[in-house]
Amino acid sequence: MQSLNVSVTFSNCGGLKMIKKIKQHQQNLGLSLGEKVGYACGDVASNFYWRVFDVFLFIFYTDVFGLSAAAVGTMMLVTRLIDAFSDPLMGAIADRTKTKFGKFRPYLLWGIIPMVAAGVLTFTVPDVSDGNKLIWAYGTYIFMMLAYTFINVPYGALLGVVTSDTQQRTTLTSFRFIGAFSGGSIVAYMTPELVAYLGQGNEALGWQYTMLVYGLIAAVLFTITFLSTTERVSPPANQKTPVMQDLKDLTQNKPWKVLFVLALIIMMTISLRGSTGTFYFKYYVERPDLIGSFAMVYMIALAIGAASTPLLTKFVDKRRLLMILMTLVAALSLVFYFVPKDNITLMFALQIMIGLALGPKSPLVFSMYADTADFSQWRTGRRATAMIFSAAAFAQKLGGALAGAMIGWTLASLGYIANQVQTGTSQEGIVLLMTVVPAIFAAIAVPLIYFYPLDDEKLKKLQTELQTQQDIEQQKAVQQSTAQQKIAQQEKQNVSGGQADSTGAVNV
């Protein structure tokens, strides 16, 4: 009994301090390099699809598949209406998943086969009528987006549960996007070459085989992410929240609402430049051989920019840094408009500078999304990490869709005809979509960032309070367990004493 009393006293007086010391020690240890690299592999895998969509999908549909620019623009917008439901639904499902491997990691394995199949089918050109081709394009593209959602929403949410430390999140997100941009660099440079090599003169077949190769590589990389990561942050014990309550929490989460609009605007900036770049070099500069190199140097610059994010955030607040970077993107994109079509060196130089400025954007914004999950838990007592990241993914997809629709409708209105010499009006439209229009959206993003309320000081305060709440809950659990042990021992002693008394009575 004496040892039991000592343990109870320790629990009451020093348990909370001990829990805090253990957690602080674990936090100081940080994430291992292997886990950071393993997590990054997931976005390398994702970019074997996303970068193809961003750079090549639009021109594939117009110049290879045979759809009109207006039809492609409309399709990209309409299919995103499906994502308006699928992304939050996937987030709700993932938040409520319980397996021995965690909530989110299993989807990295479950989603592999649908992802590979959807990629091949999307880039398959069926031998059917134009009307049936359009139906095929809608069906396979919707399938592709659903497959991407199924695996990528849980992957994104994994960031919010691997660690609770905001600086480690920024570092992990930097690793993620170094992986993303490195994978994107390979895709941007190799895709035209690989299509030509595998197709052997049949461009449609080359695209089909290329997506099969990319799918198999992505499958290996997602498996590595599954094996190398650990989920550490859990929602409050016994949390039972209806899906509608999660959605209501989102609408009342001001930091998340600001980031949603911001992500949409920034994605329009990125997608306009990425998708228009292929048209810019093929039809304006008339150097289609430079498309891969131009996209590759941009991706390398993005990777370098992403790698610099942890260093930059040590000196500059996330919000302020993002405002500075988007101002630079707006200015450089505007300067791009005045570059002569024969000045290739200046085009590449400006593209590299824009990449360096945009590189930290993704690590910053996604680590800020993880912070909004903390804010929601701090404000409501509930945590819905996947719901927050799924809605963020929808903002990105919607931004890309709006950019695609704008490109398609603009080109169609200016008389664009695939695989033909473009008119002066059509060329001017391509240049504007590549330069001035993205500059406008980047400029719009700057004042939006000002309304994001979570600076470093507020984040530190709320995360400290969250940690204290979690420590108190753990201390209560320890005390309850200890009390139950004490009761069990007392009952055992009472039973033993009663047996001894009974035995004594018989002996008398």
How many C-beta neighbours within 10 Å does residue 11 have?
Answer: 19
The listed range with the strongest mean pLDDT (117-121, 179-183, 312-316, 392-396) is 117-121
Concatenate the DSSP letters of all residues of 115-131 into one string.
Answer: HHHHHHHHT---SS-HH
- pLDDT at residue 229 is higher than 80: yes
Q: What is the pLDDT of residues 394-433, one digit of tens each?
A: 787 888 888 888 999 999 898 888 888 888 899 999 999 9
- pLDDT at residue 224 is higher than 90: yes
- CATH class as words, domain 36-466: mainly alpha
> Contact, 178 vs 301, CB < 8 A?
no
> Contact, 356 vs 300, CB < 8 A?
no
Q: What is the pLDDT of residues 41-62, one digit of tens each?
A: 999 999 999 889 888 998 999 9
**Residue-averaged pLDDT of the chain:** 83
400: left (phi over 0), alpha (psi -120 to 50) or beta: alpha
Give residue 10's pLDDT band: very low, low, confident or very high (50, 70, 90). Answer: very low
Residues in the chain: 508
pLDDT, greater one: 32 or 21: 32
- pLDDT at residue 195 is higher than 50: yes
pLDDT attached to residue 206:
96
Residue with tokens 């819905």, as numbered in its chain: 384
Q: What is the pLDDT of residues 375-391, one digit of tens each?
A: 777 777 776 666 777 76
The CA-based angle 144-147-149, given to 5 degrees, is 110
- pLDDT at residue 171 is higher than 60: yes
Residue 8's nearest CA partner among 440, 478, 467 is 478
| C-alpha–C-alpha distance, residues 473 and 8, integer Å | 16
pTM of the prediction? Answer: 0.71
Portion of the chain with pLDDT greater than 70, in percent? 83
Q: What is the pLDDT of residues 253-312, one digit of tens each?
A: 788 888 888 888 988 998 899 889 999 999 999 999 898 899 889 989 988 988 888 888
Instruction: Please give the biggest Cα pair distance in the chain.
Output: 118
Q: What is the pLDDT of residues 80-121, one digit of tens each?
A: 777 767 888 888 888 888 888 988 999 999 999 999 999 999
Distances (CA, A) of 371 to 20, 69, 159, 383, 460: 21, 39, 11, 11, 10
Residue 267's nearest CA partner among 321, 215, 329, 218 is 329
Distances (CA, A) of 204 to 116, 216, 280: 17, 19, 22
Residue 256's nearest CA partner among 452, 400, 463 is 452
Residue 50's nearest CA partner among 159, 170, 181 is 181
454 SS3 class: coil
Per-domain residue ranges for the chain? 36-466
- pLDDT at residue 5 is higher than 60: no
Q: What is the mean pLDDT of residues 169-186?
A: 84
| C-alpha–C-alpha distance, residues 403 and 57, integer Å | 13
- pLDDT at residue 236 is higher than 90: no
